[in-house]
């Protein structure tokens, strides 16, 4: 089912309003900003990162892999350049040759930090495509997030992500959607006749959701409930840990990031769950699957699965039975964090094929799939709209070339970015959620 025009417009209007607001002044001097940012760089820089920063051979392959560079040919969007401030701090403060580097490596300034705001937020979706092609194995995408942490600690960051980070920290809600709205959504589903387990003291599977599914992509929430009940798994939602969106991660605020992911971890541990499923959201999966154990300080006693991966596993186990649809050509978009970074490629494809759909791959797909242009919070940054749209056009052309009637996605951020591209360029393409498609075609 396509996202309703009304739901889409409501979300876009809310995001636009945030862009016109301003944050209270923090009263930091420029020297203080620089000192804070430098300290963050130093606290994160280890010898592996130092080696990475020094081993670039300037081959340019990362630039050719980055949709922002591809869309603009502007050298400032070269991925490795986004790490330049970090590299300067490394050379001056930590490198074995720092006594020499200090003679000719400029110290960072507050103006540098302000200039880099666009480079590490607006023009990087942390998609990891650059890291994948780099012949020296430099993990550029991961280090971009350290830059976000340095900037945000220094009081520099996009207003939209900063406001949402503060809201998640202060009230646990996002876009004013919090626990009350979550409980209302559960009650609404129950009124529709759905059996929705909530706060079961023990459950094998804990399912999370996100503000997006509670407020905008609401059919995905109902579909998730139908699917979980159809599989017969022992599952529950938890009102203590349901929100998997993590604006701490997107902004680069580790304290909020840890607070948000710890709620999910503690809820799952309380239920003795063996699996936690993240809703259709790429960064939610990355935050819980990769970063949460580090922030929590120990391995998680449960498996984290993106819902698209879970659907494939349930299909393979014979618990997910799907109706065959009329054969139509569809394309599939691998969300960067679940695909390239998480390694789940085959599961959603198997689900699409099990419904009898004719999957035509885009030119870049799987490990090399080009990002939609809106990940890592970029979709919400209003001033990034033109750049984001240029990057989107590359992916759009690939989808058009498949001859698909619809594009199937399994990430709310990708979905909204494609919807946005559709509106901006009169693109006649139906954007469908994998979970909603599956939910509508369960073979009972």
Q: Tell me if 51 contacts ligand SF4 by CB under 6 A.
A: no
Distance separating alpha carbons of residues 275 and 319, to the nearest angstrom? 16
Choose, by CB under 6 A, the member of 7, 28, 136, 159 that binds ligand SF4: 136
Q: Tell me if 65 contacts ligand SF4 by CB under 6 A.
A: yes
Edge-to-edge strand ranges of the sheet holding 406-409: 358-359, 329-332, 406-409, 430-433
Distance separating alpha carbons of residues 205 and 319, to the nearest angstrom? 14
How many C-beta atoms lie closer than 10 Å to residue 43's C-beta? Answer: 12
Q: Which is nearer to ligand SF4, 288 or 384 (CB)?
A: 384
Q: Which is nearer to ligand SF4, 144 or 416 (CB)?
A: 144
Of 131-139, 172-180, 422-430, 431-439, which part binds ligand SF4 (CB under 6 A)? 131-139
Distance separating alpha carbons of residues 255 and 40, to the nearest angstrom? 13
Choose, by CB under 6 A, the member of 3, 113, 138, 271 that binds ligand SF4: 138
Q: Tell me if 80 contacts ligand SF4 by CB under 6 A.
A: yes
Of 90-98, 127-135, 166-174, 355-363, which part binds ligand SF4 (CB under 6 A)? 127-135
Q: Tell me if 279 contacts ligand SF4 by CB under 6 A.
A: no
Q: Which is nearer to ligand SF4, 2 or 364 (CB)?
A: 364
Residues near 420 by beta carbon (within 8 Å), at least 6 away in sequence: 12, 374, 379, 389, 392
Edge-to-edge strand ranges of the sheet holding 235-236: 235-236, 205-207, 275-278, 303-306
Q: How far is the CB of 282 from ligand SF4 (least distance, A)?
A: 12
Q: Tell me if 338 contacts ligand SF4 by CB under 6 A.
A: no
**Contact letters (x/-) for ligand SF4, 81-100, by CB under 6 A?**
-x------------------
Choose, by CB under 6 A, the member of 130, 156, 161, 163 that binds ligand SF4: 130
Q: How far is the CB of 302 from ligand SF4 (least distance, A)?
A: 28
Q: Tell me if 59 contacts ligand SF4 by CB under 6 A.
A: yes
Q: How many residues in total does the chain contain?
A: 444
Q: Do the Cβ atoms of 105 and 93 come closer than 8 Å? A: no
Choose, by CB under 6 A, the member of 33, 129, 289, 365 that binds ligand SF4: 129
Of 135-143, 310-318, 323-331, 423-431, which part binds ligand SF4 (CB under 6 A)? 135-143
Distance separating alpha carbons of residues 296 and 425, to the nearest angstrom? 43
Q: Do the Cβ atoms of 288 and 264 come closer than 8 Å? A: yes
Q: Which is nearer to ligand SF4, 65 or 267 (CB)?
A: 65
Choose, by CB under 6 A, the member of 117, 118, 126, 254 that binds ligand SF4: 126
Of 5-13, 120-128, 206-214, 279-287, which part binds ligand SF4 (CB under 6 A)? 120-128
Q: Which is nearer to ligand SF4, 71 or 203 (CB)?
A: 71
Choose, by CB under 6 A, the member of 45, 85, 113, 140 that binds ligand SF4: 140
Dihedrals phi, psi of 243, to nearest 5 degrees: -85, 110
End-to-end CA distance of the chain, in Å?
19
Q: Which is nearer to ligand SF4, 127 or 307 (CB)?
A: 127
Pairing of strands 329-332, 406-409: parallel
Q: Tell me if 66 contacts ligand SF4 by CB under 6 A.
A: yes
Q: In terms of DSSP H, where are the helices of 75-178?
A: 84-89, 98-104, 110-117, 129-133, 140-153, 159-170
Choose, by CB under 6 A, the member of 18, 49, 86, 124 that binds ligand SF4: 124
Residues near 351 by beta carbon (within 8 Å), at least 6 away in sequence: 308, 311, 312, 315, 320, 322, 434, 438
Distance separating alpha carbons of residues 87 and 77, to the nearest angstrom? 16
Q: Tell me if 58 contacts ligand SF4 by CB under 6 A.
A: yes
**Contact letters (x/-) for ligand SF4, 369-388, by CB under 6 A?**
--x-----------------
Q: How far is CA 8 from CA 4, 119, 152, 244, 382, in A?
A: 6, 28, 29, 20, 15
Q: Tell me if 186 contacts ligand SF4 by CB under 6 A.
A: no
Q: How far is CA 240 from CA 187, 197, 274, 383, in A?
A: 16, 14, 17, 35
Please tell me the count of residues contacting ligand SF4 according to CB under 6 A. Answer: 28
Q: What are residue 430's DSSP bridge partners?
A: 406
Q: Tell me if 416 contacts ligand SF4 by CB under 6 A.
A: no
Dihedrals phi, psi of 203, to nearest 5 degrees: -160, 145
Tell me which residues touch ligand SF4 (CB under 6 A). 56-62, 65-66, 68, 79-80, 82, 124-130, 134-136, 138, 140-141, 144, 371
């Amino acid at each position: 089912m396509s996202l309703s025009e009304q739901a889409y417009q409501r979300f876009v209007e809310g995001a636009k309003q945030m862009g016109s607001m301003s944050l209270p002044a923090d009263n930091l001097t420029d020297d203080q900003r620089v000192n804070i940012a430098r300290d963050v760089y130093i606290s994160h820089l280890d010898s592996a990162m130092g080696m990475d920063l020094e081993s670039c051979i300037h081959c340019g392959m990362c630039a050719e892999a980055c949709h922002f560079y591809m869309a603009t040919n502007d050298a400032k969007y070269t991925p490795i350049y986004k790490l330049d401030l970090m590299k300067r701090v490394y050379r001056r403060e930590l490198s074995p040759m720092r006594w020499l580097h200090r003679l000719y490596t400029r110290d960072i300034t507050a103006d540098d930090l302000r200039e880099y705001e666009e480079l590490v937020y607006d023009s990087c979706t942390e998609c990891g495509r650059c890291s994948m092609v780099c012949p020296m194995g430099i993990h550029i995408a991961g280090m971009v997030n350290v830059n976000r942490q340095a900037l945000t600690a220094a009081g520099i960051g996009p207003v939209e992500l900063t406001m949402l980070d503060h809201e998640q920290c202060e009230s646990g809600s996002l876009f004013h959607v919090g626990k009350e709205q979550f409980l209302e959504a559960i009650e609404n589903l129950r009124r529709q006749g759905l059996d929705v387990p909530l706060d079961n003291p023990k459950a094998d599977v804990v399912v999370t959701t996100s503000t997006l599914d509670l407020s905008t992509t609401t059919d995905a929430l109902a579909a998730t409930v139908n699917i979980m009940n159809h599989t017969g798994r022992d599952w529950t939602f938890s009102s203590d840990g349901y929100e998997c969106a993590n604006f701490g991660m997107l902004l680069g605020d580790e304290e909020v990031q840890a607070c948000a992911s710890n709620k999910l971890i503690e809820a799952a541990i309380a239920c003795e769950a063996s699996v936690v499923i993240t809703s259709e959201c790429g960064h939610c999966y990355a935050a819980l699957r990769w970063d949460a154990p580090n922030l929590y300080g120990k391995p998680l006693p449960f498996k984290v699965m993106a819902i698209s991966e879970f659907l494939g596993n349930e299909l393979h186990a014979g618990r997910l039975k799907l109706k065959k649809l009329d054969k139509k050509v569809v394309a599939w978009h691998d969300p960067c964090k679940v695909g390239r970074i998480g390694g789940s490629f085959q599961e959603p494809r198997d689900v699409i094929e099990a419904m009898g759909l004719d999957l035509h791959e885009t030119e870049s797909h799987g490990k090399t799939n080009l990002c939609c242009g809106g990940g890592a919070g970029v979709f919400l940054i209003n001033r990034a709209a033109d750049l984001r749209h240029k990057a989107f056009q590359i992916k759009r052309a690939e989808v058009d070339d498949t001859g698909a009637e619809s594009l199937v996605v399994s990430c709310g951020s990708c979905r909204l970015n494609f919807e946005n591209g559709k509106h901006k360029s009169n693109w006649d393409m139906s954007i469908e959620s994998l979970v909603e498609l599956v939910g509508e075609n369960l073979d009972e």
